[in-house]
Amino acid sequence: MLAIPSVRLATPGDARAIAGLSRDFIEYGLGWSYTPERILRAIRSRTTNVAVIEDRGDLLAVGIMDYGDAAAHLVLLGVQPAQRRRGLGRHILLWLEQCALTAGLEKIGVEVRADNPGAIGFYAALGYGARSRVPGYYRGVVDAVRLEKVLGSTGVEGAG
């Protein structure tokens, strides 16, 4: 197996590439809401981590997580299609989960396109359980499956 590059916090210079990945491979068919400006706001936010994995200047994966008082919300997780099945999504998600655990948070929530069974299976394999289905969550077009993971009891400790 190839070595996985390390996770780092995004900088403003990453915003355009992150937004492009979201537009092309996460938000396809929905319009573009995670624009470079919105990504910049997340990078600058004191309650959000925007984490990336890159290799030789190319963005391979991104994860955006907001942190609240008791829970975190995974806003966005994406891996370039040519880089999938290398463990990058798992690596960046575990890194973000460790941040939430370190912050003393109890759980993480995420919404996933209901038309993406691969993503739903990915989260299930990492301990996320389905809580509900939200009709028309994505711009009234695509349903979402709302998932949740309770931290501390699912092996997040020591991840990273």
User: Which domains, from first to last, does the chain contain?
Assistant: 7-150 (3.40.630.30)
The fraction of the chain above a pLDDT of 90, given in percent, is: 75
pLDDT number for residue 147: 97
Diameter over CA atoms, the chain: 41
- 56 or 15, which is more confident: 15
Residues 65-83 have pLDDT tens digits of 999 999 999 999 999 988 8
**Residue closest to 90 by CA, chosen among 4, 19, 152, 2:** 4
Confidence of residue 2 (pLDDT cuts 50, 70, 90): low
Which region holds residue 150: left if phi is over 0, alpha if psi is between -120 and 50, else beta?
beta
Backbone φ, ψ for residue 61 (5° rounding): -155, 155
Q: How far apart are CA 159 and CA 157, in angstroms?
A: 6
> What DSSP designation does 19 have?
H
